[in-house]
Structure 1
Amino acid sequence: MTSQTVTTTGRQDDEAQIRRVLDGIVDGLRAKDLDALRRLYADDVVSFDVEPPLQHVGVDAKLANWARVFAVFAEVGYEFRDLALAVDGSVAFGHAFGRLSGTLQDGSVTSGMWVRATFGLRRVGGTWLIAHDQVSVPLDLRSGRGLTDLEP
């Protein structure tokens, strides 16, 4: 086996592990399981989410965002599309489109909106953890409003 084969196989294994971490977001949200979500993030995660403030620092702040989602939704759906990853050693980044949807507490159903999601991950003790995430929507410069009706 050549060193190129070993490197490629290692990168493929890392990519598969990272995809499982990101799938864990989907599973954790659908189950409304904050403990499962906690295991996916680094303790010092920095999150640039769509809701204020500009940044949420630490896993507790990130989980508080998800807890607010659970308070609004009776049933949560989440999906990723077009996930692309780049892995190099103990760091990785990825980007995708994501959509939060489901049934609200009042019983109404929402198909949600598509957002742009970016992830920075690092390997800690052999485990890939999300160290940074950013969620955004395109902005209409004239009106200053987010464009929430776009689809991938």
Structure 2
Amino acid sequence: MPAPREADEAEIRRQIGKVVEGLRDRDLEGLGRLYATDVVSFDVEPPLQHVGVAAKVRNWANVFVFFESVTYEVRDLVVAVGGDVAFGHAFARLSGTLKNGTAVSGMWVRVTYGLRKIDGAWLIAHDQVSVPLDIVSGRGVTDLEP
């Protein structure tokens, strides 16, 4: 039987995997169940923050406005678990086929997850997605790969 922290880490990895599956399956309801009701998300698109699960789900719904099919990859996920809180970081890439039929490979971003164990379930309470910034131009650098 795995140690409690190992079991928690495995559950957190499954939860992050469900984000990947939810986007692939276009399952907004399922995606919403992965987040704490008061989630705060700092994503790459405006506004500066998306507060609450409804705002986070709307943010994911925007993906389907542009994409006919979606592939979401998470790689190099590192998780640290402590009691009822955990955090993780990884690289992620959203790619797929746009509604006009154009295939896009997307860009790699950095993602950080903050999770809380609520009523026995690990839920994403915070996420932050970013790209490196080129200081001189003031533009995000979107062509880097892990």
Report the CA distance between 1:63 and its aligned residue: 0.6
Q: TM-score, normalised by structure 2?
A: 0.98
Matches within 5 A, 1:2-151: 9-151=3-145
Q: Which residue is 1:3 aligned to?
A: none
Q: Which deviations, in whole Å up to 9, do the C-alpha atoms of 1:16-50 show, x marking residues without a partner?
A: 00000000000000001001101100000000000
CA distance in 2, matches of 1:34, 1:80: 18
Task: Give how far 1:110 is off.
Answer: 0.4
Distance 1:81 1:23 in 2: 11
Equivalent position SS for 2:47? coil
- The alpha-carbon deviation at position 98 of structure 1 amounts to 0.1
Letter in 2 for 1:127: A
Counterpart of 1:63, as a letter, is V
In the TM superposition, residue 125 of structure 1 has moved relative to its aligned partner by 0.5
Q: Name the amino acid aligned to 1:29.
A: L
Moved over 6 A (4+): none
What is the Cα-based RMSD across aligned positions, in Å? 1.0
Deviation (angstroms), 1:126: 0.4
Where structure 1 has 5 or more consecutive residues not aligned to the other structure, the ranges are 1-5
Q: How many aligned residue pairs are there?
A: 146
| Unmatched runs of 5 consecutive residues or more in structure 2 | none
What's the offset of the Cα at 1:58?
0.2
Length-normalised TM-score, structure 1 = 0.95
